[in-house]
């Protein structure tokens, strides 16, 4: 299950161009057959993830990609709240023996350096605490070394990747998902 927000759900894109369909196609091209569930809900926060993780993890789900927190950051929600909520999501996955790939998000600088440091530390620390697989930054495939170049990979809202951006994200994320699938087996 790909468990997340609009970035997972495929906001603003035709169905076949969203993250889950592109990741599914990438895995198939690698010779990996899995049933990939789109558990993305546009606008979801980490609190929303906590509210739905229990019923989302049906017995047939043996692995979960967790990509939540972007909306918390955009709304300026206290990083300690986001951390607590993500911890609950990971605890639920652990209690169900579900392998997890935690996908990190990076805070923008508009809430200041302290907020950014507190938010950015959530993901690597929780991945270490829970022993989950970890992908440092959802947007890593878009050329974070030169953020000015990354604009071409976003929809006009500047928040959601376009189809080409999703393709690059999938190429970077895909090998980590392969590791998740191996771990789940």
Catalytic residues, which ones? 6, 157, 160
Q: How many CB atoms lie within 10 A of CB 49?
A: 26
Residue 111 vs residues 27, 44, 74, 76: alpha-carbon distances, Å: 37, 20, 9, 7
Q: Kindly report the backbone phi and psi dihedral angles of residue 67, in degrees, each rounded to the nearest multiple of 5, phi listed first.
A: -130, 80
Question: 29 is written with which tokens?
Answer: 């091209």
Q: How far apart are CA 88 and CA 158, in angstroms?
A: 30
Q: How far apart are CA 181 and CA 185, in angstroms?
A: 6
Helix extents (H) in 30-112: 46-56, 70-75, 79-95
Q: Contact at 8 Å (CB) between 160 and 12?
A: yes
């Amino acid at each position: 299950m790909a468990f997340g927000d609009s970035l997972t759900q495929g906001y603003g894109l035709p169905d076949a161009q969203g993250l889950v369909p592109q990741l599914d196609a990438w895995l198939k091209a690698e010779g990996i057959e899995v049933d990939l569930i789109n558990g993305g809900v546009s606008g979801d926060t980490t609190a929303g993830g906590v509210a739905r993780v229990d019923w989302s993890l049906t017995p047939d789900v043996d692995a979960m990609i967790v990509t939540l927190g972007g909306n918390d950051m955009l709304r300026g929600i206290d990083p300690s709240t986001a951390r607590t909520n993500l911890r609950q999501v990971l605890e639920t996955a652990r209690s169900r023996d579900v392998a997890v790939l935690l996908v990190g998000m990076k805070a923008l600088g508009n809430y200041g350096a302290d907020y950014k440091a507190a938010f950015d530390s959530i993901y690597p620390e929780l991945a270490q605490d829970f022993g989950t697989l970890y992908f440092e930054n959802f947007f890593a495939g878009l050329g974070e070394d030169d953020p000015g170049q990354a604009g071409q990979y976003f929809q006009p809202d500047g928040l959601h990747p376009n189809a080409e951006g999703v393709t690059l994200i999938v190429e970077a994320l895909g090998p980590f998902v392969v590791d998740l699938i191996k771990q789940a087996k």
